[in-house]
A and B are shown apart, each in its own frame.
Chain A
Amino acid sequence: MSALDAVGTTAEPDAEPTGEAGLGPWAAAWRRLRRNPSGIVGAVIVLLFVLVAVLAPVLAPYRPATGQWFGEVTPTSVPGPSAEHVLGLDSFGSDLLTQLLYGARSSLVIGVVSTAVGLAVGAVLGILAGGLGGWVDTVIMRIVDVLLSIPSLLLAVSVAALLGRNAVSIMLAISAAQVPIFARLLRASLLAQRGQDYVVALRSLGLRRRRIVVGHMLPNALGPVLVQATLVLATAVIEVAALSFLGLGAADPAVAEWGRMLVTAQGRLEQAPQLAVYPGLAIAVTALGFTLLGEALREALDPRSDR
Chain B
Amino acid sequence: MTPTPQTTPPAGARPLLEVEDLRVRFSRRGQPATTAVDGVSFSVDAGEVVGLVGESGCGKSVTSLAVMGLLPSRGTRVTGSVRFDGTELLTMAPGQLAARRGKDLAMVFQDPMTSLNPVLTLGRQLTEVLRAHTDLDRAARKAEALDLLGRVGIPDPRRRLGEYPHQLSGGMRQRVLIAIALACSPRLIIADEPTTALDVTIQAQVLDLLTTLVRESGTAMVLITHDLGVVAGTCDRVNVLYAGRVVESASRQDLFARPRHRYTSGLLAAVPRVDAPEGTPLQPVRGTVRDRLEWDAGCAFLPRCGRGDGACRTGGIPLAPTDADRARHPDHEARCVHPAGATT
Q: A residues touching B (Cβ–Cβ < 8 Å)?
A: 14, 16-19, 22, 24-26, 196-198, 200-208, 211, 215-216, 219-220
Q: A200-B70, A205-B102, A220-B117 are in contact. Are A215 and B128 (CB under 8 A)?
A: yes
Binds A, one of B93-101, B281-289, B336-344: B93-101
**B6 is an interface residue with CB less than 8 A from chain A:** no
**B169 is an interface residue with CB less than 8 A from chain A:** yes
CB distance from A80 to the nearest CB of B (A): 55
Given A24-B121, A216-B120: 13 more A-B contacts, CB < 8 Å:
A16-B167, A17-B167, A17-B169, A24-B163, A25-B166, A197-B109, A200-B109, A201-B116, A205-B102, A205-B181, A208-B98, A220-B117, A220-B119
Residues of chain A contacted by B115 (CB below 8 angstroms): 197-198, 200-201
Q: Determine whether the beta carbon of B114 is less than 8 Å from that of A198.
A: yes
Q: A25-B166, A205-B132, A206-B101 are in contact. Are A216 and B70 (CB under 8 A)?
A: no
Residues of chain B contacted by A196 (CB below 8 angstroms): 114
Q: Determine whether the beta carbon of A197 is less than 8 Å from that of B169.
A: no
Q: Determine whether the beta carbon of A197 is less than 8 Å from that of B111.
A: yes
Residues of chain A contacted by B155 (CB below 8 angstroms): 14
What CA separation (Å) do A19 and B163 show in the bound complex?
11
Q: Determine whether the beta carbon of B163 is less than 8 Å from that of A22.
A: yes
CB distance from A92 to the nearest CB of B (A): 52
Q: Report B139-184 residues with CB < 8 Å from chain A CB.
A: 155-156, 163-164, 166-169, 172, 177, 180-181
Q: Determine whether the beta carbon of A16 is less than 8 Å from that of B169.
A: yes
Quick one: closest B residue to A219, CB to CB? B119
Quick one: closest A residue to B121, CB to CB? A24
What CA separation (Å) do A262 and B42 show in the bound complex?
79
CB distance from A104 to the nearest CB of B (A): 35
User: How many B residues have CB within 8 A of the partner chain?
Assistant: 36
What CA separation (Å) do A18 and B107 show in the bound complex?
27
Quick one: closest A residue to B168, CB to CB? A16
What CA separation (Å) do A216 and B118 show in the bound complex?
9
**B49 is an interface residue with CB less than 8 A from chain A:** no
Residues of chain B contacted by A14 (CB below 8 angstroms): 155-156
CB distance from A210 to the nearest CB of B (A): 12
Q: Determine whether the beta carbon of A205 is less than 8 Å from that of B169.
A: no
Q: Determine whether the beta carbon of B100 is less than 8 Å from that of A24.
A: no
CB distance from B106 to the nearest CB of A (A): 7
Residues of chain B contacted by A25 (CB below 8 angstroms): 118-119, 164, 166
Q: Which one of B68, B111, B116, B167 lies within 8 Å of A18 (CB-CB)?
A: B167
What CA separation (Å) do A214 and B107 show in the bound complex?
22
What CA separation (Å) do A220 and B124 show in the bound complex?
14
Residues of chain A contacted by B102 (CB below 8 angstroms): 204-207
**B245 is an interface residue with CB less than 8 A from chain A:** no
Residues of chain A contacted by B99 (CB below 8 angstroms): 206
Q: A198-B117, A216-B120 are in contact. Are A205 and B129 (CB under 8 A)?
A: yes
Quick one: closest B residue to A15, CB to CB? B169
Quick one: closest A residue to B129, CB to CB? A205
Question: 22 pairs across A/B with beta carbons < 8 Å?
Answer: A16-B168, A19-B167, A22-B167, A24-B164, A25-B118, A196-B114, A197-B109, A198-B115, A201-B116, A203-B70, A203-B101, A204-B68, A204-B102, A205-B128, A205-B181, A206-B98, A206-B99, A206-B101, A211-B132, A216-B117, A219-B119, A219-B120
Residues of chain A contacted by B106 (CB below 8 angstroms): 204-205
Q: A16-B167, A215-B128, A216-B120 are in contact. Are A201 and B100 (CB under 8 A)?
A: no
Q: Which one of A16, A197, A204, A219 lies within 8 Å of B114 (CB-CB)?
A: A197
What CA separation (Å) do A211 and B164 show in the bound complex?
19
For B9-43 the 0/1 string (1 means CB < 8 A from A) is 00000000000000000000000000000000000
